[in-house]
Amino acid sequence: MTQAPIIRGARRWGSLLAIGVICLGGGVAHATAPPLIPIPAEVRAASGSFAVDAHTMIAYAPGDTKAEAAARYLAEELRRSRGVTLAVTATAHPAARSIVLHSDPKASVEQREGYSLDVHSDGARIVSRDAAGLFYGAVTFWQLATADGGRDATRIPGVSIRDWPRFEWRGLMLDVARHFHDVATVKQVLDAMAEHKLNVFHWHLSDDQGWRIEIKRYPLLTSVGGWRTPPGAGTHGEPARYGGFYTQEQIREVVAYAAARHITVVPELDMPGHAQAAVASYPDIVGVNGDHPAVSVDWGVNPYLYNVDEKSFTFIENVLDEVMALFPSTYIHLGGDEAVKDQWKNSPTVQARMKSLGITDENALQSWFTDRLGDYLAKHGRRLIGWDEILEGGLPRTASVMSWRGVQGAIDAAKKDHDVVLAPAGWMYFDNLQSDRADEPNGRLSVLALERVYGFEPVDASLTPEQARHVLGAEATLWSEFIPSARHIQHALFPRVDAMAEIAWSPRETRNWQGFLQRLPAQMRRYAALDIAASDTAFAPAIHVEGDIATILRNGKATITIDNQTAFGTLRYTTDGGAPGADAKAYTAPFTVSLPTTVRAVTFAPDGAAIGSLRTRTVDRDNLLTRRNGELMKCPDGSLGLRMPLLPDLGAMDTPVYDIDLFHACWVYPKAPLDGVTGIRIEAARLARNYGLAHELSKVVSYPSKTAHGELEVHQDSCAGTMLASFPLPEDKALGEPIVLEGKLPALRGEHDLCLRVTAPTDGPLYGLGSVKLTGSHPR
Ligand code: ACM
């Protein structure tokens, strides 16, 4: 076996291209590095290739239970994704051309969770000192065997890998409180985590909108706290009552399923804020001020806090007893985020309690609250982790910190010798949209593109090596206000989880964006084989019409450009109605089409396979004069931008979505070509205003109205400009009903921005604009 020099990860792939041309049995030259994500610490190309087919055996030595578990996992993964069934056999003398898994306390890779994997024509061998390492070796082998996305037999080029993780905490958080996701969906997430070598599943089990874990001693937590009545309940497919919870038996099942994949489940019960579902269930035990709220239907920040008296602590400790019995995790997450202190400030009993404790402000009270629960967990051999707000009143002695409001919380905590996990919203909040494309589903309107995720570095340069040791790792979070279904989860997580996994697993010096992109097409094929609806945003062709619309309409010709978010691959297109295949014209420069023409485009990866799905744009009068949701601009640039579904809990991916700025009900139709325009047609919808804004409520701008439900006004140039039209909003439309507003515009010439503004009362529903179309005898 000839060996090429060691390739340390992606940075040297260019070299691998030069030296590592590997001939497969059929004589096909493969000039690419192994398509593995996360990239292993060390990869060497090796000669030969290894056939995996129905005759291939997976073998382990009798009594080697760690190897047996990984062997069975590998067989099941290959069956699931390729449809090949390999025999798993305990034998001291494996046949030639077997995949052998072997525990060895003296294995050459010494790092925890590390492994070596050698593939050559006589077989494959995975060796590790520990069970996790064998498991990750199996994952790597599975990736090698599924890169082509095909079924049945395959052939793997020879390779020699030594690999281990950079961080011990490679986390993914799923919020099941805002939208409930059933056990089957959670298991799919765990399967995908294992396939990415992620090992901490942070399960956000309670929040204002739902309590999701059965607690035997307090049954109302789930019978009351597990359910809410959504806005629009019972109409347009919206459920009449929304919710659900996991029984303790189901929790045990999930914990065991995760453990079999070397994933620790860290439960989160959020406190003292985000407590409304708990308070709704037991207002007289944990509530403040005698308030009896219902389970919240509002996203955002709600005011209900846990009480700080002994009754409340007894309740919380009893709940934690059951939680600790269910979850073997050392860490228990007790939230701590966004606890607005109004209730504590306004409660004479809470104020008296503070006084008796000698605590002078409410942040310090939260610190005391957290510290006390941290002590309780510590007495039971557990550790508390919380969001970075727990730093505010003085960091509780025993706590570890999950930094979400940027990275400063992690830096501060690490400098104080506390362990930290990095989950900063600007890089790790996967409920943000992946692009500004109009075809993105629900989410927060901030764009968190794949490349930005990939660029995150968990260890800040200001930390000393000693302090850096407190960085346990990184975590991606999926908050679920806008994630109502398993399909939405898949779209939001993948492939951004691939970028995150490489940050958390691979040595820093191996990370390379272009190398990562090269390895993604294989990963997209794995997703397809597993029926995971990964987002193709990074490769999706964007078909742009250049120049001003009036000129295009006058000349009947338009200049088209095509690009994609990552500038990866070859964009191929047609203008004759056919679907672009591998032989379609490659886009290299702007081109001209006559109106009407439909442009169809697909991105092809360097290996010649399509990556992502077809995108289409029809260039005609109607299309050029219409701006749809996502093509209208925000005005002024709002800070709380959301892409909301028609109704909060509709689970279909094709539910209409609307871009909303919670503070300003206005949008801009940029550069409207008004020559010959005589009218306007607006499709709008009345949406639930279900958002708790707490202290930000005062920022909501209301515009003066003349009729009961307000109007949709059209202004010239800016919202302060001349009003061109005003359409009273109808009285008889329920939430989610489409509203069509149509009427005349005065004759104007040239291009003008149009401000579209809703003057409806701000204590009523929100409005969204589906599309705005200019009508009339535009010059041809
Ligand atoms: C958070 O996003 N409130 C932790």
* Ligand 1 atom closest to Cα of residue 477: 2
β 633-634/666-673 pair status: antiparallel
Q: Is the pLDDT of residue 539 over 80?
A: yes
> H-helix or E-strand containing 454?
helix 450-454
User: Which residue from 204, 271, 404 has its CB within 8 A of the most atoms of ligand 1, so it is best to mutate?
Assistant: 404
662 closest CA partner among 631, 692, 682: 692
For residue 404 and ligand 1, the question of a CB distance below 6 A is answered with yes
Residue 779 pLDDT: 55
Residue 214: band (very low, low, confident or very high) from pLDDT cuts 50, 70, 90: very high
- Cα–Cα distance between 599 and 617 in angstroms, integer? 5
d(CA 208, ligand 1 centre) in Å: 13
355 shares a domain with 459: yes
d(CA 318, ligand 1 centre) in Å: 25
659 closest CA partner among 680, 687, 681, 624: 687
Mean per-residue pLDDT, 61-87 = 97
77 shares a domain with 13: yes
Residue 2 pLDDT: 30
Residue 34: cis peptide before it, omega within 30 degrees of 0: no
By the 10 Å C-beta count (0-12 exposed, 13-18 middle, 19+ buried), 557 is classed as middle
Residue 20 pLDDT: 32
d(CA 239, ligand 1 centre) in Å: 27
Q: Is the pLDDT of residue 780 over 60?
A: no
User: Which residue from 387, 475, 482 has its CB within 8 A of the most atoms of ligand 1, so it is best to mutate?
Assistant: 387
695 shares a domain with 566: no
761 shares a domain with 644: yes
- The DSSP string of 216-256 is TT-THHHHTTTEE--TTTTSTT--SSEE--B-HHHHHHHHH
Residue 676 pLDDT: 92
**Which residue in 102, 202, 204, 274 is the catalytic one?**
274
Mean per-residue pLDDT, 238-266 = 97
Considering the domain boundaries, does residue 780 fall inside one? no
Considering the domain boundaries, does residue 536 fall inside one? no
Q: Is the pLDDT of residue 117 over 80?
A: yes
- The domain boundary residue, chosen from 621, 642, 671: 621
- Partnered with residue 571 across adjacent β-strands are 603
Cα Rg, the chain, nearest whole Å: 29
678 shares a domain with 764: yes
Residues 6+ apart with CB under 8 A from 501: 37, 38, 170, 196, 197, 198
Q: Report the alpha-carbon angle 78-79-82, nearest 5.
A: 65
Considering the domain boundaries, does residue 537 fall inside one? no
319 shares a domain with 376: yes
- The domain boundary residue, chosen from 592, 621, 650: 621
For residue 387 and ligand 1, the question of a CB distance below 6 A is answered with yes
Helix locations, 297-383, DSSP H = 310-326, 342-346, 348-357, 362-379
173 shares a domain with 149: no
For residue 337 and ligand 1, the question of a CB distance below 6 A is answered with yes
Considering the domain boundaries, does residue 1 fall inside one? no
Q: Is the pLDDT of residue 31 over 80?
A: no
Mind listing the pLDDT tens digit for each residue in 286-325? 999 899 999 999 999 999 999 999 999 999 999 999 999 9
Residue 639 pLDDT: 66
Phi, psi of 576 (to 5 degrees): -110, 15
- Cα–Cα distance between 294 and 211 in angstroms, integer? 12
Residue 9 pLDDT: 32
Residue 395 pLDDT: 85
Mean per-residue pLDDT, 687-706 = 93
Residue 747 pLDDT: 95
Share of the chain above pLDDT 70, in %: 95
CATH number of the domain residue 574 falls in: 2.60.40
Q: Is the pLDDT of residue 136 over 90?
A: yes
3-state class of 490 per DSSP?
Answer: helix
Rounded (to 5) percent helix, strand, coil in the chain: 25, 30, 45
Q: Is the pLDDT of residue 685 over 90?
A: yes
Q: Is the pLDDT of residue 185 over 80?
A: yes
Tokens describing residue 19? 């030296």
d(CA 195, ligand 1 centre) in Å: 27
d(CA 216, ligand 1 centre) in Å: 28
* Ligand 1 atom closest to Cα of residue 338: 3
Residue 778: band (very low, low, confident or very high) from pLDDT cuts 50, 70, 90: low
Considering the domain boundaries, does residue 534 fall inside one? no
CATH number of the domain residue 525 falls in: 3.20.20.80
- The domain boundary residue, chosen from 106, 129, 163: 163
- Cα–Cα distance between 507 and 244 in angstroms, integer? 41
Residue 5 pLDDT: 33
Mind listing the pLDDT tens digit for each residue in 591-642? 999 999 999 999 999 989 999 999 999 999 999 999 999 999 988 776 679 9
CA dihedral 215, 219, 225, 229 (to 10 degrees): 140
Mean per-residue pLDDT, 443-466 = 97
438 shares a domain with 320: yes
For residue 389 and ligand 1, the question of a CB distance below 6 A is answered with no
CA dihedral 26, 27, 31, 34 (to 10 degrees): 30
575 shares a domain with 513: no
CATH number of the domain residue 757 falls in: 2.60.120.260
578 shares a domain with 686: no
Mean per-residue pLDDT, 452-470 = 98
Beta strands in 53-188 (DSSP E): 57-60, 87-90, 98-103, 115-120, 123-128, 154-163, 169-175
User: How many angstroms separate the Cα of 420 from the Cα of each of 383, 411, 458, 501?
Assistant: 12, 8, 10, 18
Residue 6 pLDDT: 35
Domain hosting residue 335, numbered range: 169-529
* Predicted structure pTM score: 0.95
Residue 434 pLDDT: 97
User: Which residue from 270, 337, 390, 422 has its CB within 8 A of the most atoms of ligand 1, so it is best to mutate?
Assistant: 337
Q: What is the DSSP letter of 679?
A: E
Active site residue 207: yes
Q: Is the pLDDT of residue 658 over 70?
A: yes
Contact 226, 281 (CB under 8 A): no
Q: How many domains does the chain fold into?
A: 4
301 shares a domain with 345: yes
Contact 442, 645 (CB under 8 A): yes
User: Which residue from 432, 479, 481, 483 has its CB within 8 A of the most atoms of ligand 1, so it is best to mutate?
Assistant: 479
d(CA 308, ligand 1 centre) in Å: 22
d(CA 483, ligand 1 centre) in Å: 15
**Which residue in 118, 175, 270, 338 is the catalytic one?**
338
Residue 398 pLDDT: 80
Considering the domain boundaries, does residue 535 fall inside one? no
Span of 5-19, 461-475, 496-510, 682-696 with lowest mean pLDDT: 5-19
Mind listing the pLDDT tens digit for each residue in 372-417? 999 999 999 999 999 999 999 888 888 999 999 999 999 999 999 9
For ligand 1, atom 2, name the residue with the nearest CA: 404
For ligand 1, atom 3, name the residue with the nearest CA: 337
By the 10 Å C-beta count (0-12 exposed, 13-18 middle, 19+ buried), 414 is classed as buried
Q: Is the pLDDT of residue 444 over 90?
A: yes
684 shares a domain with 571: no
Residue 736: band (very low, low, confident or very high) from pLDDT cuts 50, 70, 90: confident
**Identity of the amino acid at 91:** T
Residues 6+ apart with CB under 8 A from 566: 450, 451, 517, 538, 539
β 383-387/400-403 pair status: parallel
513 closest CA partner among 10, 166, 12, 35: 10
